[in-house]
Structure 1
Amino acid sequence: MNETQDRFTGDTKVLHQRAVRIPLPDTEAERVFHENMMTVAAARERKADLLADPAASVLDAYEAERDRIAEGFERRLRRIAGDEYEEAAMAYNRGDRDDRVGALAAYYFEGAWRMQQRATITDMMFFPLFLRYPDSFTMNIRFTSGYTTSKSVRYESPAHSSEELDEYAETYFDDCLYSQQQAAEYIRETAQIIRNEFPDPDETAFEDRKYGGVVSAGGRRGSVFSAMLDSVDPDPDRFSEPVAKPTLVEAGPEARRTERELLSGDEIVH
């Protein structure tokens, strides 16, 4: 996707108040979904390891998590739109096509493109929502203005600071390392929430796995970064009809609820 990044300018309209709904018709589909969510959990744990490592930078931690999640986006893009997913996404954004596959390609591609910018753009927070229902799951890719939520932990990166500290530099550096280690502990602990909410279908009864959900958030303002992850209860009445193919749907009541509970109200949600 890197070569296309130079030409792609983005269009948040494809993300706004929309989610992807993916059917889970059988145990094999549930296994794929479970594996994808475990990849997200593992990416979070790897980020925690790097944040806790004094020899690694915050950027190293961010890039490690981003790359793992981007791989999942690309796999999903290839399943939905084939190897030419980039052209499908761009054709949809240009208005040259207006079909389900083009819309899905544009949705995932927009999300991946914006996610890759997170560590270099201030006041843009990644705010995704994953929800499991009995016959499907949804992924709501959201970005907001601002950089934090009411439940986020914050940590600081000296590499992103523009302050001239002189004799306070060593103290500031130590304080940043401490904040990173505290955040690493939180990030590692909350990775377990993902594992709890989306258990292995081969080891868990259907009644215990048919609903689950997590919302997470990560952003940056200057040298200060934030992280948050919490469980979400899916609305059992959200869908009245089954779904046969991946499709875009409205964001849903859970999206509105998490925005209301976690954001201050001043942020713009894309």
Structure 2
Amino acid sequence: MGNDGKPFNGNVDVLHERAVLTPLPDVDAEREFHRNMMNVAAAQERKAEMLADPDVRLLEAYERQLEGIAETYRQRCLRVAGEEYESVALAYARGERDDDTAAIAAYYLEGLWRMQQRITVSDMLFFPIILRYPDCFTVNLRFASGHRTTRSVLYESPEHLVEELDAQSALTYSAESHYTQREAAEEIAATAAYIREAFPDPDETSFEERKTGGIVSGGGRKGSVFSSMLERVEPDVDRFDEVPASPTLVEAGPEAKRTERELLPEGTFVL
């Protein structure tokens, strides 16, 4: 990743206790935000469909979901920094730029890079919070130690098992793992409705109905055990008295701390 041929190696400092605030000055901006969130909902549903299919590897289901979510990140980077957003993010990482445009590009690429890593790295929880306020929305990308929240659904992947099993035990484990995937798929598919409820279509709802909403999700793995969670979050409606005219980085809000206390096991370290 990166237009100069160098990979984006990541720097967690750009994420720590920060969120990207994006203004919603008009209905066109609301429509774009809505489209992005519907892409996230669709990615959630695709993942559920693939988990329920015994002929599809769990890793492939995660990769397809990542593609959908990554596209929303890319669209935000394009909107903020233009076609050269990767080079802009790398310039921030190297200390060559310190403006909001470069910082936001680096923020989203850092989130995407770490999100890609969670498929191969054990005990790293992706824990993003997206909140809609009357005149803006925030994206708070959080990563934590561990592999689950206190309300995650768990399921297993035979392809990630490192233990050597005899033929019969391997067949039994595979069958049991696919059963947990089918059970999880039902719950994961249902959570797509939470996204649609939290961020309704601006062309079909009144401003009062759509002016606030939010979701928090969590996903990770420990060995062959994977986890998934997505719930509604209510934002503090009066948090932003004034909204800047362009996207900017802000401190993570009180909603983030509340969700951490409610959903993360005691002793979890949040990046």
**TM-score (ref. length: structure 1):** 0.97
Secondary structure (helix, strand or coil) at the match of 2:215 reads strand
Deviation of 1:117 after TM superposition, in Å, equals: 1.4
Cα-Cα RMSD: 1.3
1:205 is aligned to 206
Tell me, which stretches of 5 or more residues in structure 1 are unaligned?
Answer: none
- Provide the C-alpha distance between the structure 2 equivalents of 1:3 and 1:188, rounded to a whole number of angstroms: 36
- Provide the C-alpha distance between the structure 2 equivalents of 1:60 and 1:5, rounded to a whole number of angstroms: 27
Deviation of 1:177 after TM superposition, in Å, equals: 0.4
1:216 is aligned to 217
1:176 is aligned to 177
Deviates more, 1:38-47 or 1:116-125: 116-125
1:265 is aligned to 266
1:48 is aligned to 48
Deviates more, 1:77-86 or 1:195-204: 77-86
- Provide the C-alpha distance between the structure 2 equivalents of 1:63 and 1:101, rounded to a whole number of angstroms: 28
Residues 5 and 113 in structure 1, CA contact (< 8 A), matched pair in contact too = no
Residues 3 and 84 in structure 2, CA contact (< 8 A), matched pair in contact too = no
- 1:227-259 deviation line (CA, Å, top 9, x unaligned): 000000101121111221000001100001111
Residue identity in the other structure for 1:198: F
Matches within 5 A, 1:81-230: 81-166=81-166, 167-230=168-231
Secondary structure (helix, strand or coil) at the match of 2:245 reads coil
Equivalent pairs counted in the alignment come to: 270
Deviation of 1:2 after TM superposition, in Å, equals: 7.6
- 1:38-82 deviation line (CA, Å, top 9, x unaligned): 000000000000000000011011000001111111111111111
Residue identity in the other structure for 2:193: Q
- Provide the C-alpha distance between the structure 2 equivalents of 1:191 and 1:4, rounded to a whole number of angstroms: 37
Matches within 5 A, 1:55-74: 55-74=55-74
Residues 136 and 243 in structure 1, CA contact (< 8 A), matched pair in contact too = no
1:237 is aligned to 238
Residue identity in the other structure for 1:143: F
2:31 is aligned to 31
Residues 150 and 263 in structure 1, CA contact (< 8 A), matched pair in contact too = yes
- Provide the C-alpha distance between the structure 1 equivalents of 2:236 and 2:165, rounded to a whole number of angstroms: 50
Confirm or deny that 1:249 pairs with 2:250. yes
- 1:154-189 deviation line (CA, Å, top 9, x unaligned): 000000001122131111111100000011000000
- Provide the C-alpha distance between the structure 1 equivalents of 2:77 and 2:9, rounded to a whole number of angstroms: 18
Deviation of 1:7 after TM superposition, in Å, equals: 2.5
| Deviant stretches of 4+, over 4 Å | 2-6
- Provide the C-alpha distance between the structure 2 equivalents of 1:59 and 1:3, rounded to a whole number of angstroms: 28
- Provide the C-alpha distance between the structure 2 equivalents of 1:90 and 1:242, rounded to a whole number of angstroms: 27
Residues 47 and 62 in structure 1, CA contact (< 8 A), matched pair in contact too = yes
- Provide the C-alpha distance between the structure 2 equivalents of 1:78 and 1:52, rounded to a whole number of angstroms: 34
Tell me, which stretches of 5 or more residues in structure 2 are unaligned?
Answer: none
Secondary structure (helix, strand or coil) at the match of 1:239 reads coil
Confirm or deny that 1:9 pairs with 2:16. no
Deviates more, 1:246-255 or 1:111-120: 111-120
Question: Would the alpha carbon gap of residues 110 and 135 (structure 1) be closer, same or farther in structure 2, given more than 3 Å must change?
Answer: same
Identity %: 60
Residues 124 and 221 in structure 2, CA contact (< 8 A), matched pair in contact too = yes
- Provide the C-alpha distance between the structure 1 equivalents of 2:229 and 2:5, rounded to a whole number of angstroms: 27
Residue identity in the other structure for 2:69: I
